[in-house]
Amino acid sequence: MRHVIHESKKKDIMIKYDATASGYDELYRDEQYAKYTAAAEALAKALQGCSTGHRCRLCDIGCGTGLLIEYLVENGLPLPGHYICIDLSINMLRVARQRSERYAAPLTDIIQGDAEHLPLRQKVCRVAVSFTVIDLVENPPRMLQECDNISHTCIVSRLKKAMKRCVREELRAGSYLAETDKDIIFIRRPGSASGNNTGKNP
């Protein structure tokens, strides 16, 4: 498990989620599953054929307890050849490690890391996902740029009530994908900033 040094505010977030990791699934599984279901078709398309090799990577940014891999397995969706699980909270990552082992997940890397400074090479992932993490970062445009840098397709969700104008415009550089009661989900691809995506905007 690799580690990075965090700034003060990020340490506060880390401490908060470290303290709630043991009860996170009970409180938030249904809410997280609703987001995964809303994004499932696009995610399955992005992961199509991924089980054939480790180079087909999925990066789960702000992975929490790794509920996404559970969802993929239990719903018979395509699995990545390489699952990269990144979160600030070490206790969340411990649960994610246990879950990946329990579900016989593919090659898995568990990394304690920062969504605004992802420790990955450019375009190393076929797809990156980040569900409601953008609401916690200090610089949302920077996080989106990081997502775009490491992946060919990026799926991002944002709380509806937290949609500030600057972030709304950044997200609209991608395409509106779906929404739940609480979240709006967008998909971003190379060239989306120049308007090459064809999805509708909310």
What are the residue ranges of helices labelled H in the chain?
8-20, 24-47, 67-74, 90-102, 140-150, 165-171
Is the predicted pLDDT of residue 202 greater than 50, yes or no?
Answer: no
* pTM, full prediction: 0.85
Is residue 200 included in any domain, yes or no?
no
User: Residue 57 maps to which CATH number?
Assistant: 3.40.50.150
Does pLDDT of 65 surpass 90?
A: yes
Domain membership of residue 126 (yes or no) is: yes
Q: Considering the domain boundaries, does residue 24 fall inside one? A: yes
With cut-offs at 50, 70 and 90, classify the pLDDT of residue 201: very low
Longest pairwise C-alpha distance within the chain: 43
Range of 41's domain?
8-194
DSSP bridge partners of 187: 155, 175
> What pLDDT sits at residue 95?
97
DSSP class of residue 2 equals B
Spatial neighbors of 144 by CB under 8 A, at least 6 apart, are 134, 154, 156, 170, 171, 173, 188
Residue 63: Cβ within 10 Å count: 28
Burial tier of 181 (Cβ tally within 10 Å: 0-12, 13-18, 19+):
exposed
Asked if residues 54 and 80 have their Cβ atoms less than 8 Å apart, the reply is no
| Residue 201 in domain | no
**Alpha-carbon gap, residue 105 to 75, rounded angstroms:** 14
- Residue 3 included in any domain: no
What pLDDT does 62 receive? 97
Residue 169 covered by a domain:
yes
Q: From CA 141, how far away is CA 133, in angstroms rounded?
A: 12
Query: Between 196 and 109, whose confidence is greater?
Result: 109
Return mean pLDDT, the chain.
85
CB-based burial label for 23 (10 Å; 0-12, 13-18, 19+):
exposed
Any domain includes 116: yes
Q: What is the pLDDT of residues 3-59, one digit of tens each?
A: 444 467 888 999 999 999 999 999 999 999 999 999 999 999 998 877 555 578 999
Q: Give 40's Cβ-side CA count (13 Å radius).
A: 16
Q: In sequence order, what are the beta bridge partners of 2?
A: 111
In a domain, 60, yes or no: yes
Among 35, 48, 120, which residue's Cα sits nearest to residue 85? 120
| Total number of domains constituting the chain | 1
pLDDT digits (tens, 9 = 90+) for 67-101: 999 999 999 998 898 999 999 999 999 999 999 99
